[in-house]
Amino acid sequence: MSNGKRILIVGGVAGGASCAARARRMDEQAEIILFERGPFVSFANCGLPYYVGDVIRREQSLLVATPELFRDRFNIQVRLHSEVVAINRQEKTVTVRDHGSATDYEEPYDALVLSPGASPVKPPIEGLDLPGVFSVRTIPDSREIRKRIEEARAGRAVIIGGGYIGLEMAENLLRRNLQVTLVELQRQLMPLSDPEMVVPIHEALTERGADIRLGEEVARVSRSDDGLLTVQLKSGGTVDSDVVILAVGVRPEVRLAEEAGLELGPMGGIRVDDRMRTSDPHIWAVGDAVEVYNVVTGSWGLMPLAGPANRQGRIAADVICGRDVRFRGVQGTAVVGVFDQVLAATGPSEKVLKRLGLWDSPLQCEKIYLHPGHHANYYPGAEVITVKLIFSKKDGRIIGAQAVGKEGVEKRIDIISMAIQKGGTVFDLEEAELCYSPQFGSAKDPVNLAGMIAANVLRGDVEVVHAPEMAARPEGVCVLDVREPLEFKRGHVDGAVHIPLGELRRRMNELPRDREIWVYCYVGQRSYVAARALRQYGFRAKNLSGGYRSLLMWQKAVDL
């Protein structure tokens, strides 16, 4: 026994394990005990879909640390199969159920940290408890899915839910040559992203044979005597399957906290302050179970991601050990990869901002699109990144960004994420000094270009219109296509006047001076040059942001 303070931690994975290790680094005298109700501590839950897909071949590889490592390296006791079932706040003890011996015992604490995570949402749909229907949260879950695939010689899978876990499972089951049907209630995958940005992810899955059913709801799941599962959809159709994966989101695990009378927030997570302290001064909470302050939207919400959980665990440990540190809050920086396509985002999407009523006021948002190469186009292998940047018209503050493409996507979003954390503006992105060599980037990196395009809008150098406006343009608008003849021939906006950029200066007399001219090219760059020239000659020209390519992405999202 040490004479130091007793720090008890509930939950031994992302938030709990990082809290325990940090607490030891801060306080050599503390007695630290980590309770984990499952069979593993500190495992890589983010790697589970890849274990199902056999990308990660050995279960052992998912174990980031073992109880022995915690003991030997950190002098931390890890108790597996040990569920904390009650917090006795008056006595400052917890009741622990040892599932091995089926006995309960009490442990006193000076500081208690809750990191119980979030459990998969199970909607009230008949049949979700049937054998063959799985959620993906733990190593045993993924082991069972693998077993089912192998034992049933599974050829078909239905995934319910098109968020990132659903997508990662779809990719991995397709890798294992299963025929995958993905059912998503909303009219798009990745429901918190903007629909046009998700199109390449949708296509990456359908190109590999996935059957994606958008706007569909599961009514029930049934099982025949020979183990075949049938998923019935509310629209009337049915899909037969050998395995069903439920991935419709997670809910914070707050039972312990709630029963102990700790304050919860409006979204159902544990309420904490910026030092991760709950409404009880001796109890901290971190990770998926807590509500977090969103620095962009100014609202409290849930952000079940590994990065915040790890950082919060560290902060709780620091505070418990006497350091004055604070959690800055979240903005929602995330990435998902599906085959060769990567979708990353930081800050809220346009859709979320509009739903929260923040788009027009108070934030006064504007957006721009661009499609640059991920590195210099003259160097072999440049891949297009589509970037959408959302910023405030008031002062240029960056609100959010999404990017999709094959290479270099998350790097750009990480840069913009840091800019948002520091309260940066589009003018900061214009000036950002970033690495450049042809195989890595461009002298004007996509991040610089995004800043320059947005700054052009704010400085009044150009006015932009967007795909939905182009599709519903008022009568009287003259649409001008400045691409080359072959590009025009391959497809163009109905009724567009075609004058290639190279001919524009001598053919300007063909354009009306009394009407607005909406100019477009393929990605918005040549049309920007055209719009600048036209404006200087007295025409009322606007540029279609992101050009014909953005228009096509938007149209596909509408048609899905």
Ligand X SMILES: Cc1cc2nc3c(=O)[nH]c(=O)nc-3n(C[C@H](O)[C@H](O)[C@H](O)COP(=O)(O)OP(=O)(O)OC[C@H]3O[C@@H](n4cnc5c(N)ncnc54)[C@H](O)[C@@H]3O)c2cc1C
Residues that bind ligand X (CB under 6 A): 10-11, 13-16, 35-38, 45-46, 48-49, 83-84, 115-117, 136-137, 165, 253, 256, 287-289, 304-307, 309
**Distance of closest approach, residue 45 Cβ to ligand X, in angstroms:** 4
Classify strands 385-392 and 365-370 as parallel, antiparallel or unpaired.
antiparallel
Tell how far CA 214 is from the center of its chain: 19
Q: Which residue has the tokens 């959690």?
A: 327
Whether omega for the bond prior to residue 39 falls within 30 degrees of 0, making it cis, is: no
Cβ closer to ligand X: 94 or 449? 94
Cα(first)–Cα(last) distance of the chain, in Å?
A: 63
For the question of residue 46 being annotated catalytic, the response is: yes
**Distance of closest approach, residue 2 Cβ to ligand X, in angstroms:** 23
Cβ closer to ligand X: 303 or 385? 303
- Amino acid (one-letter) located at 104: D
Backbone angles phi, psi at 16, to 5 degrees: -65, -45
Rounded to the nearest 10 degrees, the angle between the axes of helix 195-207 and helix 547-559 is 70
322/328 Cα distance (integer angstroms)? 18
Q: How many helices (H) and strands (E) does the chain have?
A: 17, 30
Cβ closer to ligand X: 184 or 288? 288
**Distance of closest approach, residue 154 Cβ to ligand X, in angstroms:** 19
Cβ closer to ligand X: 136 or 178? 136
Cβ closer to ligand X: 162 or 372? 162
Short-list 44, 42, 41, 39, CA closest to 61? 44
**Distance of closest approach, residue 114 Cβ to ligand X, in angstroms:** 8
Let me know if 416 is exposed, middle or buried by CB neighbors in 10 A (0-12, 13-18, 19+).
buried
Cβ closer to ligand X: 15 or 396? 15
Q: Which residue has the tokens 């290639």?
A: 500
307/16 Cα distance (integer angstroms)? 13
Cβ closer to ligand X: 49 or 348? 49
**Distance of closest approach, residue 441 Cβ to ligand X, in angstroms:** 25
Tell how far CA 215 is from the center of its chain: 20
Q: Which residue has the tokens 């509310």?
A: 234
Contact (Cβ atoms closer than 8 angstroms) between residue 292 and residue 315 = no
3-class DSSP state for residue 284? Answer: strand
Contact (Cβ atoms closer than 8 angstroms) between residue 115 and residue 254 = no
**Distance of closest approach, residue 146 Cβ to ligand X, in angstroms:** 14
553/560 Cα distance (integer angstroms)? 11
Which position among 46, 365, 478, 521 bears the catalytic label? Answer: 46
Residues tagged active-site: 46
